[in-house]
Chain A
Amino acid sequence: MSDQSITSPSAIPDTRRRVPAGRLIVYAVALAIALCLAFAPFLFPDVRAQEVAARICVFIVLVASYDLLIGYTGIVSFAHTMFFGLGAYGTAMMLKAWGPGFDAIMIGGGLGVAAALVLAVLIGLLSLRVKAIFFAMVTLAAASVMMVLANQLSDFTGGEDGFTYQVPRLFSPAFKLVTDADGKVLRLFDVPLNGKIAAYYFVFLGCLVLFLAMMRIVASPMGTVLQAVRENELRAEAIGYRVVSYRTAIFCISAVIAALAGVLRAVWLKYVGPEVVLSFAIMIDILLMVVIGGMGTLVGALIGVVLMSLAQFYLKDVMEIAAEATAGVPLLPDLLNPDRWLLWLGLLFILLVYFFPAGIAGTLMKKGHHR
């Protein structure tokens, strides 16, 4: 008989749930990131940094909503940018058609989100019963069709070039959000409180609400059921959960959140095109961010997105500085030439995956936890 069973349960000392150090580190980092984003316009006032910060906000939501699928429920989908794109294109096309206004954002965004929901229901009901690999293929096909449509229907979508449009005056840099006694735009910490600030906080708060909603979902009874489905589908079914319903439900929720992220992206960018909201390059970015951050953690999305975005936007700059600093040394300046940034990015990924096999948040949170 198994003598390993003798060790339990009296030999296991502590019954209380301890908070491992790794978990604290992850939460501290996540909080730091959230605070940086909350005060980004004042901490990093230059234009490019604001672009990066706004993109990070939206991508955190996008990646976290993808984590609901792949990390929590074990659903592999390649259609996530399709839903993102639907929200963005809906908003953009309506803003273009009706001119700048919140009505256009509400109606256009609403239509985009509704379209995403309908598609998600269809894809979910038709194909979440089949094996994971077939489902992945179906989502890939749907995403490809959407891509072709966006490229071909250029009268509506601007084709490959996409199109630009106006957003409500509140969000334009010329808008004076807060004025001083002279009617000039008020400056806080030397940062003008203009429409750009309003636009950033529109995006930031929207993303915050969506992220908190997702935190709530994974902490809810449903969140546990989703993990149960991932862990052992047959048993989940055997104790009374209709697995197909739960899969379809989370696929729809995730699609709606991705579409809402698309709305925010469209309002910020004042431009849509396949390259920025629909392409498979973005899908791959999302996948990498989820994997680097840590699947099934949600807070991993913050870490994954920040790390990857900083690398994408600033690695070249860092390398340029490094190349200049090592100008005298043979070979090194060539290796550190900014043109080779993809090489270093690739190397960075390999190292991350090697040292953090469950993603940064995932691996750290498991540390100190008994295996």
Chain B
Amino acid sequence: MSDRFSLRTEDLTIRFGGHAAVDGVSCAFRPGELTVIVGPNGAGKTTWFNLVSGQLRPTAGRVFKDGRDITALSPSARAKAGIGRAFQLTNLFPQLSVLENVRLAVQARQGAGASIFRRAARLDDIRDEAARHLESARLAGVAHYPAAALPHGDQRKLEVAMLIAMQPDIYMFDEPTAGMSVDEAPAILDLIAEIKKDAAKTVLLVEHKMDVVRALADRIVVLHNGELVADGAPDTVMTLPVVREIYLGVGADDEEEVA
């Protein structure tokens, strides 16, 4: 069974006690489409991300990747199925080198993680590919530094480089430019724009900065109190009364709930 949607959630719901953090979200995404997910603090954007990438299990509802039900799969199995996720709070392997961080992602994709007695040729490929990803993320100069030693902006870049190294079908970015300086954010946005060119990839992006949203979004999905309240082309969605109401009520604060 297959459908033309690369990713679909059906009535996706998670309750923490009585509180529904994500409440019956049904939403579908096509390849070649970049969707920005917006919503005020606590709207459930990151929680919805966690449900899709498997860090959280839903109370109800299902997740489909290319028509296949993946609701029961572990995060690692979903990663293998092509769902790649970058995290809002920097989530690296701090004591490992920058190169090793990316190499791990390449290696996971190639299924080479379990090999004990292989080292030479295969690993060179993996390392070269990892080095290429670092190059395009402009991190080649710090390849041998422990990830923890990088400044915040570079850690964010590494986070994105690791996602790109996974080469997933579905890219999920959770506020990739959060906390970055004005001169640094474009580097990340260029990387995302590059991915967008590939018609086979689906990109989901949680972002607050309106200039970013305008520059990249093909479509905007608005979440509020865990519910999907608007979904459509950027121009139409941003003028909807319900969206204006939400945003005017909350203001343009850039902080987001903790994952």
Residues of A within 8 A of B (CB): 1-10, 12, 15-17, 216-217, 219-222, 224-225, 227-228, 231-232, 234-243, 245-246, 249, 369-371
Q: 8 A-B residue contacts at CB 8 Å?
A: A5-B151, A6-B183, A8-B141, A15-B140, A231-B94, A238-B76, A238-B91, A239-B108
**Given A2-B151, A2-B180, A216-B116, residue A15 in contact with residue B126 (CB < 8 A):** no
Q: Encode B64-107 as 1/0 by CB contact (under 8 A) with A.
A: 00000000001111011000110100011111100010011101
Is the CB of B186 closer than 8 A to any CB of chain A? no
Cβ B118 vs Cβ A8 within 8 A:
no
**Given A15-B144, A225-B113, A246-B113, residue A232 in contact with residue B93 (CB < 8 A):** yes
In the assembly, what is the distance between CA of A4 and CA of B118, in Å? 40
**Given A2-B180, A220-B116, residue A9 in contact with residue B141 (CB < 8 A):** yes
Residues of B within 8 A of A5 (CB): 151-154, 180-181, 184
What is the number of residues of chain B that contact chain A, defined by CB distance less than 8 Å?
Answer: 57
**Given A12-B145, A246-B113, residue A239 in contact with residue B118 (CB < 8 A):** no
* Cross-interface CB contact of B108 among A15, A240, A369, cutoff 8 Å: A240
State the 4 A-B residue pairs at the shortest beta-carbon distance, nearest first: A5-B153, A240-B79, A240-B108, A231-B93
In the assembly, what is the distance between CA of A230 and CA of B149, in Å? 18
Residues of B within 8 A of A370 (CB): 145-146, 149
Q: Which residue of B lies closest to A16 (CB)?
A: B144
Minimum distance in angstroms from B224 CB to a CB of chain A: 27
Cβ A239 vs Cβ B105 within 8 A:
yes
**Given A9-B142, A12-B145, A220-B117, residue A240 in contact with residue B109 (CB < 8 A):** yes
Minimum distance in angstroms from A127 CB to a CB of chain B: 18
Cβ A15 vs Cβ B53 within 8 A:
no
Residues of B within 8 A of A237 (CB): 74-76, 79
In the assembly, what is the distance between CA of A246 and CA of B94, in Å? 19
Residues of B within 8 A of A4 (CB): 151-152
Residues of B within 8 A of A221 (CB): 107, 112-115, 118-119, 123, 126
Residues of B within 8 A of A225 (CB): 104, 107, 113
Cβ A224 vs Cβ B181 within 8 A:
no
Q: Which residue of A lies closest to B139 (CB)?
A: A9
Cβ B150 vs Cβ A8 within 8 A:
yes
Residues of B within 8 A of A9 (CB): 138-139, 141-142, 154
Minimum distance in angstroms from A225 CB to a CB of chain B: 5
Minimum distance in angstroms from A160 CB to a CB of chain B: 39
Residues of B within 8 A of A249 (CB): 114
Q: Which residue of B lies closest to A243 (CB)?
A: B76
Is chain A's interface secondary structure helix, strand, loop, or mixed overall?
A: helix
In the assembly, what is the distance between CA of A186 and CA of B94, in Å? 57
Is the CB of B143 closer than 8 A to any CB of chain A? yes
In the assembly, what is the distance between CA of A26 and CA of B151, in Å? 30
In the assembly, what is the distance between CA of A330 and CA of B150, in Å? 57
Cβ A222 vs Cβ B162 within 8 A:
no
Q: Which residue of B lies closest to A223 (CB)?
A: B116
Which of B92, B112, B123, B153 is packed against the most chain A CB atoms within 10 Å?
A: B153
**Given A15-B140, A220-B118, A240-B109, residue A2 in contact with residue B154 (CB < 8 A):** no
**Given A238-B53, A238-B79, A371-B149, residue A222 in contact with residue B116 (CB < 8 A):** yes
**Given A220-B116, A234-B91, residue A8 in contact with residue B75 (CB < 8 A):** no
Cβ B93 vs Cβ A6 within 8 A:
no
In the assembly, what is the distance between CA of A328 and CA of B166, in Å? 73
* Cross-interface CB contact of A8 among B95, B107, B153, cutoff 8 Å: B153
Cβ A1 vs Cβ B180 within 8 A:
yes
Minimum distance in angstroms from A184 CB to a CB of chain B: 45
In the assembly, what is the distance between CA of A85 and CA of B179, in Å? 54
Cβ B95 vs Cβ A15 within 8 A:
no
Q: Which residue of B lies closest to A18 (CB)?
A: B144
Residues of A within 8 A of B95 (CB): 227, 231
In the assembly, what is the distance between CA of A217 and CA of B116, in Å? 5
In the assembly, what is the distance between CA of A123 and CA of B244, in Å? 56
Residues of A within 8 A of B109 (CB): 240
Minimum distance in angstroms from B82 CB to a CB of chain A: 10
Cβ B141 vs Cβ A12 within 8 A:
yes
In the complex, given contacts A8-B142, A220-B118, A232-B91, what are 7 additional A-B residue pairs having Cβ atoms less than 8 angstroms apart? Answer: A1-B179, A1-B181, A6-B181, A238-B91, A239-B104, A242-B74, A370-B146
In the assembly, what is the distance between CA of A221 and CA of B122, in Å? 10
Which of A3, A221, A234, A235 is packed against the most chain B CB atoms within 10 Å?
A: A221
Is the CB of B236 closer than 8 A to any CB of chain A? no
Is the CB of B248 closer than 8 A to any CB of chain A? no
Cβ B93 vs Cβ A1 within 8 A:
no
Q: Which residue of B lies closest to A249 (CB)?
A: B114
In the assembly, what is the distance between CA of A16 and CA of B144, in Å? 7
Residues of A within 8 A of B180 (CB): 1-2, 5
Chain B residues 170 to 229 lying within 8 A of chain A, measured CB to CB, are 179-184
Is the CB of B55 closer than 8 A to any CB of chain A? yes
Minimum distance in angstroms from A298 CB to a CB of chain B: 14
Residues of A within 8 A of B184 (CB): 5
Minimum distance in angstroms from B22 CB to a CB of chain A: 19
Cβ A2 vs Cβ B152 within 8 A:
yes
Minimum distance in angstroms from B25 CB to a CB of chain A: 21
Minimum distance in angstroms from B96 CB to a CB of chain A: 6
In the assembly, what is the distance between CA of A369 and CA of B183, in Å? 29
In the assembly, what is the distance between CA of A9 and CA of B154, in Å? 8
Residues of A within 8 A of B103 (CB): 224
**Given A12-B145, A238-B53, A238-B85, residue A231 in contact with residue B96 (CB < 8 A):** yes
Minimum distance in angstroms from A15 CB to a CB of chain B: 5
